[in-house]
Amino acid sequence: YSTFGQNLKWQTNKLTFRIVNYTPDMPQSDVDNAIEKALQVWARVTPLRFSRIYAGTADIMISFGSRDHGDFYPFDGPDGTLAHAFAPSQGIGGDAHFDDDETFTFRSSRGYNLFLVAAHEFGHSLGLSHSRDPGALMYPVYSYRDPTTFVLPRDDVNGIQSLYGSNPDVSVVKPEPEGPTTPNACDPQLVLDAVTTLRGEMFFFKDSFFWRSSTYSRRAEQHLIKSYWPDGPNNIDAAYESRSADRVFLIKGRKVWSLYGYTVERGYPKSLKSLGLSKSVRKVNAAFHDQESGKTIFFVGDYYYSYDESRRVMDRGYPKRVDEGFPGMTGEVTAAFQHRGFTYIFSGPQMFEYSFRSKRLFRVLRNSYFLRC
């Protein structure tokens, strides 16, 4: 996190706000809700308390405008810059302006979610500058998250509490769930949720994030899953690519999502049965598709299943024990994928390199081997 500076903060914990005008995109009641919810994000973790006024000058004046709207920082039409706000001070300080050339929404992932944009801008109104942490609310680039389950990330909590301290009422109020921290690709203890290829690139999933790595990019990029697939799942169990169908399947619990590029296909999530797995399978730990044999391998506990994609049936004689198909693999399989003809099986912080056909184990590597630390 970063702040505008210690003296650029409010000297009182009792702040006023006023919604000066409204966007035509949403019912006014939804705007009110989004703004109040966004302020509560910060009130919940600090002594700050916000009260609304309907006339006169509030500490935080909230307005919608487009292009040149009178503050020497003109907006730029659709997309690009979505909003801005000013650091705490008298006058324009604390005020938040929203670009009305954007389409703002309240509950959906369509357009730009006003609650998320407002919560970010109010961080500026209270004294926070931008964070370098891609999982932080105060990261400058917009990314969608589910507003109904939103919890202020740890980086932002640390930031705002460095200015105002923590919420003194927390003993009265239900303690705030611990904000999510952003996983670090180079953490030697990193255990991945799932790994898959996607049109020649490698995608490594962890919590609500994934890293995208390709032989062309010089560095693995970290993104929120929902910034690519707003209706996709966080914290997945397994993922694999079916190149023939140009689809990536994400598995979480008993559900499976089908991704076609940036799109989550209609009709998904479906049940695991749609992948040919029996009803008894409750959780898949990992999966990969073997290009050579055309089989998709599902790891379930200590066993693995083999599904014949062309005949669309589960192969006979399965499930088999994992260490039968992958000698030396005695731990829980956490992720799996194929790359350049090698099969990589992840277990905890380690990655085992096999030939799927000969069952030969070549090397044991670290999880971050492809993440270019």
Contacts to another protein by CB under 8 A:
4, 73, 75, 79-85, 99, 112, 117, 120-121, 124, 129-130, 132, 134, 140-142, 217-219, 221-222
When the beta carbons of 124 and 145 are compared against another protein, the nearer one is 124
The values of phi and psi at residue 70, to 5°, are: 95, 15
For residue 271, the tally of other CB atoms under 10 A from its CB is 12
When the beta carbons of 156 and 237 are compared against another protein, the nearer one is 156
When the beta carbons of 7 and 280 are compared against another protein, the nearer one is 7
Which of 143, 139, 89 minimizes the C-alpha distance to 113?
Answer: 143
Run of H or E residues at 336:
strand 335-339
Question: Catalytic: 292?
Answer: no
* Relative orientation angle of helices 114-125 and 28-43, to the nearest 10 degrees: 50
When the beta carbons of 160 and 277 are compared against another protein, the nearer one is 160
User: Cβ of residue 115: shortest distance to another protein, in angstroms?
Assistant: 15
Which of 298, 293, 241 minimizes the C-alpha distance to 272?
Answer: 298
Which of 135, 193, 150 minimizes the C-alpha distance to 42?
Answer: 150
When the beta carbons of 111 and 253 are compared against another protein, the nearer one is 111
Distance (Å) of CA 17 to CA 27, 65, 122, 152, 266: 19, 17, 11, 21, 41
User: Which structure tokens are listed for 177?
Assistant: 């769930």
Give the torsion through C-alpha atoms of 197, 200, 201, 206, to 10 deg: -10
Q: Which amino acid makes up residue 72?
A: F
How does DSSP classify residue 348?
Answer: T
User: Cβ of residue 21: shortest distance to another protein, in angstroms?
Assistant: 18
The values of phi and psi at residue 332, to 5°, are: -75, 135
Q: Does the N-terminal peptide bond of residue 147 adopt cis geometry, omega within 30 degrees of 0?
A: no
Catalytic residue among 36, 102, 121, 265: 121
User: Cβ of residue 69: shortest distance to another protein, in angstroms?
Assistant: 11
When the beta carbons of 141 and 172 are compared against another protein, the nearer one is 141
For residue 14, the tally of other CB atoms under 10 A from its CB is 11
Which of 221, 247, 229, 218 minimizes the C-alpha distance to 146?
Answer: 229
Burial 194-207 (b: 16+ CB within 10 A, else e): bbbbbeeebbbbbb
When the beta carbons of 116 and 256 are compared against another protein, the nearer one is 116
For residue 3, the tally of other CB atoms under 10 A from its CB is 18
Active site residues: 121
